[in-house]
Structure formats: C-alpha cells, structure tokens
Structure 1
C-alpha cells in the first residue's frame, strides 16, 4: 500500500546523509542496487504477531549508490505485510494500529529531514 501525501516524495539528500539519518530512526537500507535503494522500518502487530515493513524508496539522481556523496531522491513510502519466506505483500490489509505506527514514524522522518535541512 502506498502512503501518499507524506511530504517525503521528491526530497533530495546524499546517500551518506540518508544512511545516517535513517539509521538513527531505526530504518535499515536492505534492498539496493547502483541506482535505487529501499530503507525499511520493521513494525510488529502486537495483536497478531504479524510483521510489516514500512519502506521508503529512493532513487540515485546523481552518482552511484556506493558513493556517500551520491544524491538520492525519495519516493512515496509503502507499507507491506511480510510473508515468510515469500517476501512482501503490498496488497495485504494493514491493521489500523500498524498504519498509525507507520504514519508516526514517517512524521518523525519528515521532521528529522527538515531539521537537517535547516542546519
């Protein structure tokens, strides 16, 4: 499921800046190649024990991903249910508590990006 209207899509930062900021917030850069990356944040549904991932995709618009000075542009975040061992189900229904946790995390991310930009 795409989470639209977060204000994150289109924000540009270097790979080094994003890696540090995302790590501070609990995101991990798992899936990546030379021109795109996904920062994932794990959310557990306390009622069912199911695992969901909040994913913030980024695309390299200048440079290659292995270079910390490469510039990345964020895209709209996604949330998906983890289906072991098959991967992520982007069409699975998202429980309200998980969706709220995702939105809180995205608000924290937006605030951190704005704070970092004002430096």
Structure 2
C-alpha cells in the first residue's frame, strides 16, 4: 500500500456533491461501503490477475451514506494492489454456488507488494490532483 499526501485529506463535504465530482473524474463509490464509511476508487492498472487501485476513503460525520445530503470527511488516499485468486475455491459452498450467490473469490493477496511504486504513486497523485480543487471548492 502507498499512502498519498493530498489536500483532500481532512476536508468535509456533502456526499452528493462529492459523488458527482468523483464520478466525473472516473472514480466510483467502492462496493464495500457501509452507512458510516466508504471510499471512492478507480483502477490505475489491470493485467491478468493483478489490479492496482487508487482509493480515497472517507467517514460519515452526519447522516447515512444512502442520502446525498450526508456530510463526509476524507481520510488519507492510497494506492493498493490486489492479486486475484484464479484457482479453485477450496472454501466454496455447494449451496451458494448452485443458487448463484457465490460469484467471487476473495483476493489471493488483497495488499500485495507494488512494483514500480514511484510510477503508480505519480499516476495516482495526478488523478487525485485533477479533482482535489473541485472537491475543496464544494467543501461544506
């Protein structure tokens, strides 16, 4: 994992405004969000089973994440590498597989070491800088 320095860290914004700005910049709300926290993310690099993401986590300060009026505060953005598990799932549940509920395996390594760290850090920083000014302008 590579932590990034950014002016966005610690900024408080209205979630609906941030969601719009991040989507325009190519980042989506990550699928693992909860009502009290989440993250925006995008793929920086993907090849075979390796994916490198830029992630911008945040905490909910007021409201719940399913409302556009929710107030959030950004935390430290980071770059992370996932290595997917391509083999058979030893933990699979026959019932879940038959019903179609078990579609994905856990990553083989959800925080693998990142080769070319400097290159990915620069790419991530450039992407983050593209939206930082807009997000700061929309601060609550």
Task: Provide TM-score, normalisation by structure 1.
Answer: 0.84
Rg larger in structure? 2
Give the equivalent residue in structure 2 for 1:39.
40
Higher relative contact order (CA 8 A, sep 6+): 2
Aligned equivalents of 1:6 and 1:17: distance in 2? 19
- Provide, for residues 75-113 of structure 1, a one-character-per-residue CA deviation record: whole Å limited to 9, x for no partner: 000111121141631x51241322211010111121222
**How far apart are 1:114 and its partner, in Å?**
3.3
Structure ranking higher in strand proportion: 1
Number of equivalent positions: 115
Instruction: Give the structure 2 partner of residue 70 of structure 1.
Output: 70
The residue correspondences of 1:72-91 to structure 2 (distance < 5 A) are 72-85=72-85, 86=107, 88-89=110-111
Shift of 1:15: 1.2
Moved over 6 A (4+): none
Q: CA–CA distance in 2 between the matches of 1:72 and 1:54? A: 19
Residue 97 (1) aligns with residue 98 (2): no
SS in 2 for 1:82: strand
TM-score of the pair, normalised by structure 2: 0.72
Change (3 A) 1:110 1:18: same
Shift of 1:7: 1.2
Q: Give unmatched runs, 5+ long, in structure 1.
A: none
